[in-house]
Chains A and B, each alone.
Chain A
Amino acid sequence: MAEPATVSAREERILGIIETARGKRPKFRDERITMAHGAGGKATQSLIEGLFLPALGDGALAELADAGAISIDGVELAMTTDCYVVRPLRFPGGSIGDLAVNGTVNDLAVSGARPLALSLSLVLEEGLAADELRSEVEAISAAAKAAGVEVITGDTKVVERGHADGMYVCTTGVGRRDRRARLSPAGIRPGDRILLSGSIGEHGMAIMLARGEFDLDASIESDTASLWPAVDVLLDAGGEGVHCLRDATRGGVASVLNELARASSVAMLVREGAIPVQPAVAGAAEILGIDPMYVANEGKLVAFVAADRADEVLEALRGAPGCEQASEIGEVRTEPPGMVLVETSFGGRRVMDQLVGDPLPRIC
């Protein structure tokens, strides 16, 4: 045994090395793309920060925001794009057409931009039933109408059988930045309250069950919906007191909080008991060994709000459609920076880490 002082010095040095390594931009060293690179966790991050950013990211992209900002003659616009690949195409609560509109609209909305227009690109698989396509086009039309956006351009490609799971959809959205909005990860301050717009895990769980791999029956519907009405209410009630918004899609609420804690060098403390989860989602998650905090949502956002405005903003948010269960789930702190801690319902505290890859069900 070494002398205690030396031991702690060595430990300190090793911790320092690890912290430096973790602080560095992750390298992309994998030989092939695996499903983990699409799961929104550490592997995705290494792909984006290790491959895309070095090549493309010296301008607005470097911020890695949900939507990029562009200013034209004093008019502030936001632009975002997304591809939608989902199997099955239709699932309880929605379909790929709903997602393609709402997902893109939501990336604009949480950037503080009122969605204006969409482009629509379709990659169709040879043999797709015309009725399926027709019903998706109708879904897109209805969702666009509900979200108040217009599809103003589009493109169609057909690929050979076996190549596109029926159909892939890509949409690009343009929105106008709202004057009330002062939103950015850099705006998050220690002391801010964290609000969540409703119950979590419904979309991801609905998809998992709809795939029929689990022999589980539960009535869980995707929460796909436009978030602009909720953002509108938030900006009205909170104004500049609303510091940052994110929609908690792939990787769930846990991934969003981790990304933002890292981006803003703050800590977050979340109270597990305050997070609304529908009983059916909680039950399915329990059986599958998956934490709902990491399951995707398609109509939920996380808001960081100045402490003195949090109560009134929450009250107002609960009045927005689909946000009746909105809740204050935690707060921003200074220590330890870059980390998200959870106070479990059982009363213990732990780190809620970023996912490494897809949430894989566990045996042990």
Chain B
Amino acid sequence: MKFVDEFRDASLGRAVAAEILSLVEPGRHYKVMEVCGGHTHSIYKYGVDDLLPANVELVHGPGCPVCVIPMGRVDDGIAIARQPGVIFTCFGDMMRVPGSEGSLLEAKAAGADVRMVYSPLDALRIAKQNPDREVVFFAIGFETTAPSTALTLKRAKAEGVANFSCICSHVTIVPPLRALLESPDLRLDGFIGPGHVATVVGARPFEFIPADYGKPLVVAGFEPLDILQSIVMILRQLAEGRREVENQYARVVPYDGNLRALEVLGEVFELRPHFEWRGLGFISHSGLRLSEAYAELDAELRFEVPGVRVADPKACQCGEVLKGVIKPWECKVFGTACTPERPIGTCMVSSEGACAAYYNFGRFAREREVV
């Protein structure tokens, strides 16, 4: 395919990998977190980590919006989906995320009308086509997907689509990063910043990471060469003693973000005082809900939802795995209570999560790890 093949060129990849090798200090171990689930996917898809020297380790961050939705909220979604007359819509990969009593996929098998959509606008279209049914959209995602939910809600309100509503589980990226960085046992040297989120919020909101915590962050694109180049930029900062926010993805990300999108977000959403993250617990001001002006479209107000917090089993140590404090196999429930078939924490829910990968690829995954 034209326009992307250049960013997947194997010979350029080898050249950048050689540059990385020349930048690492022998004997020093580097841990770099890619914040965004999209990066994790690219790294996995192209085998990017395989091109890195053994002492540069990539740590998968908290940025998979599907995996961080806690059990209680999945339960709320399922409770609504089960009500008679409801068409429940969500993104494809949300359907497999387990609640305390199964997933949306299982609720569908038991008779609920659960449909996969590609965009919240598809959900709105379904609502217009089925005026006698209640159509609910399970809105998830970081600042990347929140604007499209916001625009859909604006349109639903303007067009008076009375049978449409939305369970808002949108989250914001900065609070969980700060929560990670606040941890005294954090072992990370730098961050690959979330390129898609940054197209909306810009690179500026990440300035606290070098300023307050002394770690470099490079906003990166999603092609394999983007990721390798961002690692070069992080290693160069470390080598030169610089700690700053750099923008590798400048072809898409304006430093100040998309002001129009931010304005719409501010109009439609407001911050929740707290939001629970699977595996990470409650984080203040990390989730969005519909603002007063859009309350009529809030499915949590329109329907009875259990709203029960289902605690992650105490033994789940996703937080520590994410911070790089422990390896997946060191978690108490790894491979016993928590498996890819019946996952507990975010690291096991996503097939690319650190725990799921380690479980599935076992010795092979370990060979690739560093000592």
Seen from chain A, the residues whose Cβ lies within 8 Å of a Cβ on chain B are: 10-11, 14-15, 17-19, 21, 30-36, 42, 213-214, 279, 282-283, 286, 291, 336, 339, 341-351, 353, 356-357, 360-364
Contact = CB atoms under 8 A, between A and B. Distances in A.
13 contacts: A35-B105, A342-B47, A347-B14, A347-B47, A348-B49, A349-B50, A353-B361, A361-B116, A362-B41, A363-B94, A364-B36, A364-B37, A364-B64
Contact of A357 (B105, B116, B334, B350): B105
B344 interface: no
Classify chain B's interface size.
35 or more
Contacts of B363: 15, 336
B340 A362 contact: no
A267 B105 CA distance: 32
Contact of A34 (B10, B13, B106, B334): B106
Interface string B200-221: 0000000000000000000000
B364 A351 contact: yes
A364 B38 contact: yes
Contacts of B140: 363
Q: Closest 7 interchain pairs by CB?
A: A348-B47, A364-B37, A360-B92, A348-B50, A34-B109, A346-B46, A361-B92
A351 B361 contact: yes
B360 A11 contact: no
Contacts of A214: 118
Contacts, number: 135
B344 to A, nearest CB: 16
A345 B10 contact: yes
Interface of B: 1, 4, 8-10, 13-14, 36-38, 41, 44-51, 63-67, 91-96, 102, 105-106, 108-110, 116, 118, 140-141, 145, 224, 327, 329-330, 334-336, 339-341, 350-351, 359-366
Contacts of A279: 1
Contacts of B341: 42, 356
Given A362-B93, A363-B91, A363-B94, 6 more contacts: A11-B366, A18-B359, A279-B1, A346-B9, A348-B50, A361-B92
Contacts of A344: 45-47
B1 A360 contact: no
Contacts of B359: 18
A363 B141 contact: yes
A31 B111 CA distance: 13
A356 B96 contact: yes
A191 to B, nearest CB: 20
A18 B362 contact: yes
B335 A346 contact: no
Contacts of A35: 105, 108-109
B66 A364 contact: yes
B115 to A, nearest CB: 9
B231 to A, nearest CB: 13
A69 to B, nearest CB: 33
A259 B13 CA distance: 32
Q: Which of B49, B51, B329, B366 has the most CB of A within 10 A?
A: B329
Contacts of A17: 335-336
A334 to B, nearest CB: 13
A350 B327 CA distance: 20
Contact of B8 (A341, A343, A345, A362): A345
B47 A349 contact: yes
B66 A347 contact: no
Contacts of A283: 1
B7 to A, nearest CB: 10
Nearest to A2: B330
A281 to B, nearest CB: 11
A361 B118 contact: yes
A5 B41 CA distance: 33
Nearest to A339: B364
A350 B334 contact: no
A35 B108 CA distance: 9
Given A336-B364, A363-B141, A363-B145, A350 B329 contact: no
Contacts of A350: 44-45, 47, 50
A33 B105 CA distance: 10
Contacts of B329: 10-11, 14-15
Given A32-B110, A339-B361, A348-B46, A363 B93 contact: yes
A17 to B, nearest CB: 6
A32 B109 contact: yes
Given A362-B41, A364-B66, A346 B224 contact: yes
B144 to A, nearest CB: 9
Given A11-B329, A14-B335, A35-B105, A360 B116 contact: yes
Q: Which of A17, A343, A356 has the most CB of B within 10 A?
A: A356
A15 B366 contact: yes
Contact of B92 (A34, A345, A346, A362): A362
Contact of A286 (B1, B41, B336): B1
Contacts of B93: 360-364
Contacts of A341: 364
B110 to A, nearest CB: 6
Nearest to A11: B329
B335 to A, nearest CB: 5
Contacts of A21: 335, 339
Contact of A346 (B38, B41, B47, B340): B47
Given A339-B361, A342-B47, A351-B361, A364 B116 contact: no
Contacts of A31: 102, 106
A44 B271 CA distance: 42
Given A34-B108, A346-B46, A364 B41 contact: yes
A356 B351 contact: yes
A364 B141 contact: yes
Nearest to B329: A14
Contacts of B116: 360-361
Q: Which of A42, A336, A343, A362 has the most CB of B within 10 A?
A: A362
Q: Which of B37, B106, B108, B363 has the most CB of A within 10 A?
A: B363
Contact of A356 (B1, B14, B92, B340): B340
Contacts of A357: 96, 105
